[in-house]
Structure 1
Amino acid sequence: MTVQVRNVEIKNRAQALAEIAAVGADRAGCRLMAPKAVHRVLKVSGLTPIQANILKQEMLARGGEAAVARGVVEHRVNRTDVLLMGTLKQFEGLLAKLKMQPFGLPALAEEIRRVLQNLEGRRVFRLDCRGRELVLGERTLVMGILNVTPDSFSDGGRFNDPSRALEHARQMVEDGADIIDLGGESTRPGYTPIPVEEELRRVTPVLEKLAGEIPVPISVDTTKAEVARRAMEAGAHIINDQWALRADPEMAAVAARYDAPLILMHNQQGTEYRDLMGDMIRFFRESIAMAEEAGVCRDKIIIDPGIGFGKTLEQNLEVMFRLRELDCLGLPVLLGTSRKSLIAKTLNLPVDQRVEGTAATVAIGIAAGVDIVRVHDVKEMVRVARMTDAMVRRGKRDNY
């Protein structure tokens, strides 16, 4: 037999155990070696020089590495980021030592532990959507877009009539949609905000028809707490907030009162960032804290990176490239790229010719672990999702 050397990609502890067992190692050896086969790089922000120096010393003592700002040793900087690099085994030793240290390091150890656990992969679980159920993590779910607006960039005015909207929703469900996302206010660039009553006038008649005839959960795409409340009363199941509780502080209370799953999308005015992914994750942590403080269960929260919102073309592309970094939050991820300017500007194509571009973003998103894709072209994207799932969600069905 010819000797062969090749690389093996190991993303988490479970894969490490499987690969080590495949070599023929005994069970005790598998458990001991698995944490040494998984390497993690974590970025910790906002540490004092004292905290950073202890962190670096303890990581180096275990054979790992830690990068800090120049001047940390001499305390010439007030704050620093730290890049920690090591195996799970090295991190385990680090956390054990940090728990015995002062300077707020036990709390930091617990946060590092949570992030490491989140990076092991999201569990498959059943999400109760006010009586209708979604299974998250087993396969990619497809959310079909239903806009009842006169000015949406892609389908403005097509489904304003409740009967036409119901017909379109039925077709999307037949094509494989797992969720219908109903929106009454356009968020296209340069859109004109509308008052609560106008949004309700558009949404309510359609929602009343859908709630009685559509078998899948219906989400209401709104930034207004009163619209969300009235939608819940009319039979909606999920709240999709494009401002992640920032536009209306009462939104979290509505989600808690009706025990509705809550989608939090990243959004901001302007496109200035200190650290693109770091700033986005900080934004999500703040919104998640707002939701939990209002009584929303963390298991009911879904995050959306907000492609096309508060980002330049290059920033949108970078977020797509770095979607895996959202794994640190341990929450389901929804991705909405369908027919957006990200595709238009990259391929120089009009709205009605962006199916292939959308398919590429959907496939990349699923490969990066997203749980739900929000799309216009349901039939085509269901096929993309099923094919991509077959390649990247190996073993999920067996684990369910």
Structure 2
Amino acid sequence: MAWQEDIEIIEIPDGTTARRLMADIGVEGRGIELMTPKALYYCLKLKDVPARAANILKQEMLARGGEAAMAAGVAGWSVERTDVLLFATARQLELLADKLKEQYFGLNRLAIAIREALKAWEGRGEIREIKCPRGPLIIGRRTLIMGILNVTPDSFSDGGRFYDPGAAVEHAHRLVEEGADIIDVGGESTRPGHRPIDAEEEWRRLEPVLKRLVAEIKVPISVDTYKAVTARRALDLGVDIINDIWGCRADAHMASVCGRYRAPVVIMHNQEGTTYNDLMFDILSFLRTGIRLLEDNGVPPENIIVDPGIGFGKDLQQNLEVMGRLRELKVLGKPVLLGTSRKSMIGKVLDLPVDQRLEGTAATVALGISQGVDIVRVHDVRAMLRVARMTDAVVRRA
């Protein structure tokens, strides 16, 4: 009997996709579970591996049908350390981890790290809940919209339009009416070249606005601050979330304050300058350290959100590269927040002023959602809600 020889090549980014594809052609349930780990193919990057350990990885990967790529000269011991790329299915990596737990040279710890990375990667598609005083944030069902409220006189995007507390509260209500799931309030501009202010001035700007928002707004309220004193005062007042652009690194007390309140926290990647050894690896390492810091101080693991920090400590090409590699943040196993709204990256690419960056923002929001972003932080809530709904219809159709 003749049959159609046409071939389709399908990208399988996660277990949900693999299971759906097999179910669609009639594979039975037990078969789906057995074959899913063989359908998922990964490239794992390891940094600065000793040559002895790298050679063992090479042998063990080849023995399981996978591959390990490393610097030339490792096999002949002419280099002492190397980065390593492991190419393997999920099943091959599971078998590798089983073998490595019996090895030396740090490979037993690598076995644990491999299992944790695979678990985090595959767990990102699950529906999760972040508990907040004003009601839970449901992560994974749809993209959440964080509306930006700057109560600063020198904001890059709105020129201090909401510096007056009354105008700020009115705008917050408008953002909620337009569909914001979270209101993010900032009292200090973080635009390039901004003038830092102390905690007292920051709180002077925030307090009158937050007192009214806590009483009037029904969605979770986030405060954008890197100062522990401000975070404590805001949490005492009844704010739900702390959004720290320095990943709890700028103030040594920030992690302990957040832990004391068991508050949800957004940790963003940031650094002085734009020099990196390995852009995405460095960002992931920074965020992992922040995650451990918060968890060690009592913040529940499910309350931590990560942000790659578009526009912070990165030049244009680095920002664009991160935008194209957002999916790699899945390995952290945390909800991902993306803040690109009206930023200079868009202005530089399109050669447009701040007030003409709506379409560029929409493109970055759609691109982020397509790569697994859970929350988008935006100025134009109504428009970006529509972008998110349309993108979700495609990305989250399962």
Deviations 1:233-277 (A, max 9, x none): 122110000001111010111111111101001000000011100
Q: Which moved more, 1:313-322 or 1:17-26?
A: 17-26
Q: Residue 42 of structure 2 aligns to which amino acid in structure 1?
A: R
State the partner residue of 2:71.
69
What does 1:13-32 align with in structure 2 at a 5 Å threshold? 13-32=15-34
State the partner residue of 2:62.
60
Deviation at 1:169? 0.4
State the alpha-carbon separation in 1 of the partners of residues 35 and 23 from structure 2: 10
SS state of the match for residue 119, structure 1? helix
User: Contact 1:130–1:259 (CA<8 Å) still a contact in 2?
Assistant: no
User: Contact 2:134–2:218 (CA<8 Å) still a contact in 1?
Assistant: no
Pair 1:207-2:216 in alignment: no
SS state of the match for residue 207, structure 1? helix
Q: Which moved more, 1:167-176 or 1:1-10?
A: 1-10
Pair 1:241-2:226 in alignment: no
Deviations 1:119-150 (A, max 9, x none): 21412111112352111111000000000000
User: Contact 2:38–2:91 (CA<8 Å) still a contact in 1?
Assistant: yes
Q: Residue 90 of structure 1 aligns to which amino acid in structure 2?
A: Q
Deviation at 1:50? 1.5
- Judged with a 3 Å threshold, the aligned counterparts in structure 2 of structure 1 residues 3 and 79 are, in CA distance, closer, same or farther, namely closer
State the partner residue of 1:382.
385
State the partner residue of 2:95.
93
Deviation at 1:88? 1.4
State the alpha-carbon separation in 2 of the partners of residues 137 and 339 from structure 1: 25
Deviation at 1:9? 2.4
SS state of the match for residue 40, structure 1? strand
Q: Which moved more, 1:96-105 or 1:200-209?
A: 96-105
In structure 2, the gaps of 5 or more residues are none
User: Contact 1:220–1:236 (CA<8 Å) still a contact in 2?
Assistant: yes
User: Contact 1:146–1:159 (CA<8 Å) still a contact in 2?
Assistant: yes
Deviation at 1:106? 1.8
State the partner residue of 2:347.
344
Q: Residue 337 of structure 2 aligns to which amino acid in structure 1?
A: L
State the partner residue of 1:189.
192
What does 1:314-329 align with in structure 2 at a 5 Å threshold? 314-329=317-332
- Judged with a 3 Å threshold, the aligned counterparts in structure 2 of structure 1 residues 51 and 354 are, in CA distance, closer, same or farther, namely same
Deviation at 1:156? 2.8
State the alpha-carbon separation in 1 of the partners of residues 276 and 30 from structure 2: 47
**What is the count of residue pairs matched by the alignment?**
395
Deviations 1:359-389 (A, max 9, x none): 0000000001000000000110011111111
- Judged with a 3 Å threshold, the aligned counterparts in structure 2 of structure 1 residues 160 and 73 are, in CA distance, closer, same or farther, namely same
SS state of the match for residue 44, structure 1? strand
Pair 1:301-2:266 in alignment: no
Deviations 1:263-301 (A, max 9, x none): 001000000011100000011111111111211111111
State the alpha-carbon separation in 2 of the partners of residues 51 and 373 from structure 1: 41
SS state of the match for residue 120, structure 1? helix
Q: Which moved more, 1:384-393 or 1:84-93?
A: 84-93
State the alpha-carbon separation in 2 of the partners of residues 164 and 330 from structure 1: 38
State the partner residue of 2:38.
36
What does 1:241-320 align with in structure 2 at a 5 Å threshold? 241-320=244-323
State the alpha-carbon separation in 1 of the partners of residues 140 and 304 from structure 2: 14
State the alpha-carbon separation in 2 of the partners of residues 337 and 110 from structure 1: 35
Pair 1:220-2:223 in alignment: yes
Deviations 1:11-52 (A, max 9, x none): 223322332333334444333322221111110112111111
State the superposition RMSD in angstroms. 1.3
Over the matched positions of the two proteins, sequence identity in percent amounts to: 60
SS state of the match for residue 138, structure 2? strand
Deviation at 1:8? 2.2
Q: Residue 125 of structure 1 aligns to which amino acid in structure 2?
A: R
What does 1:34-183 align with in structure 2 at a 5 Å threshold? 34-122=36-124, 123-183=126-186
User: Contact 2:335–2:373 (CA<8 Å) still a contact in 1?
Assistant: yes
In structure 1, the gaps of 5 or more residues are 396-400
- Judged with a 3 Å threshold, the aligned counterparts in structure 2 of structure 1 residues 25 and 230 are, in CA distance, closer, same or farther, namely closer
Q: Residue 38 of structure 2 aligns to which amino acid in structure 1?
A: K
Pair 1:333-2:341 in alignment: no
Give the TM-score normalised by structure 1: 0.96
Deviation at 1:89? 1.8
Q: Which moved more, 1:182-191 or 1:121-130?
A: 121-130
Deviations 1:173-212 (A, max 9, x none): 0000000000000011111100111000000000001000
User: Contact 2:133–2:238 (CA<8 Å) still a contact in 1?
Assistant: no
SS state of the match for residue 135, structure 1? strand
- Judged with a 3 Å threshold, the aligned counterparts in structure 2 of structure 1 residues 50 and 284 are, in CA distance, closer, same or farther, namely same
Deviation at 1:102? 2.1
User: Contact 1:148–1:156 (CA<8 Å) still a contact in 2?
Assistant: no
Q: Residue 371 of structure 1 aligns to which amino acid in structure 2?
A: D
Deviation at 1:227? 0.6
Q: Which moved more, 1:32-41 or 1:240-249?
A: 32-41
State the alpha-carbon separation in 2 of the partners of residues 335 and 241 from structure 1: 13
Q: Residue 182 of structure 1 aligns to which amino acid in structure 2?
A: V
State the partner residue of 2:376.
373
